[in-house]
Amino acid sequence: MATPQDLDRADPYRDESGRTLADYPRPSVAVDTAVLTVAAGRLRVLLVRGSDNSQGLPGTFLHPGERLAEASLRALRDKAQVVGLAPRQLMVFDDPGRDSRGWVLSVAHLDAVRADLIPLTDHSTLVPVDECPELRYDHTAIITHASATLRDAYRRLPDPWHLLEPGDGGVTIRDLRLLHEQVLGERLVADTFRRAMLPGLRRTGRVRRGTRGKPAELYRITGR
């Protein structure tokens, strides 16, 4: 198997015009990550404040020999002091004019976690996604797309991103409905919601007591 040193010594690839890859202009590659959560009854996104006092998503430029996922985790760690996440690639934002610093592609990532897993610092904050200020580098568009992706998942499944606090006994339909209302930013009809979610739940045979009214049946989310 060829080593990187072997490749460096080999004749460079040339296309039909005789040019090498280095002869073509190339964009820089950035990685920006939208970390979403539910806090204070709203769907929110993690923003960090830079050295110029501007807000934006935790992001960085891709380093030589680095994978995109590694760059995302590095930016979360270094700029937001957040560790232990597993962001997923969302999409590439490639408008040539998206970054005033030059030609920069952004490979946007998304993660959604419980708010207690996001330690806030003097340089980070959680902002409602529907009240986000206009941000540089089309970060506002990234947040809009990330929020839509998350909300689409919650319209179809009970808790695909594990935003509910885990409990030994299970969850109630009401627990799930309140979470969905916060994620979606809208009120939901209880009976319609119950029918939509039941295929993704299994009964535990137990109920939650200690609240007013009839004890609430507890469910496990299928696949957990």
Q: pLDDT per position in the chain (224 positions), as tens? A: 555 555 455 688 888 888 877 777 889 999 999 999 999 999 999 999 988 889 999 999 999 999 999 999 999 999 999 999 999 999 999 999 999 999 999 999 999 999 999 999 999 999 999 999 889 999 999 999 999 999 999 999 999 999 998 777 899 999 999 999 999 999 999 999 999 999 999 999 999 876 666 889 999 999 77
Where do the domains of the chain lie? Answer: 27-156, 173-221
* pLDDT the model gives residue 5: 54
* pLDDT the model gives residue 102: 94
* pLDDT the model gives residue 9: 54
Our CA dihedral for 83, 151, 125, 135, rounded to 10 degrees, sits at 110
* pLDDT the model gives residue 224: 74
* pLDDT the model gives residue 219: 95
**Is domain 27-156 in CATH 3.40.50.970, yes or no?**
no
3-state secondary structure the chain: CCCHHHHHHCCCCCCCCCCCHHHCCCCEEEEEEEEEEEECCEEEEEEEECCCCCEECCEEECCCCCCHHHHHHHHHHHHHCCCCCCCEEEEEECCCCCCCCCCEEEEEEEEECCHHHCCCCCCEEEEEHHHCCCCCCCHHHHHHHHHHHHHHHHHHCCCCCCCCCCCCCCECHHHHHHHHHHHHCCCCCHHHHHHHHHHHEEEEEEEECCCCCCCEEEEEECCC
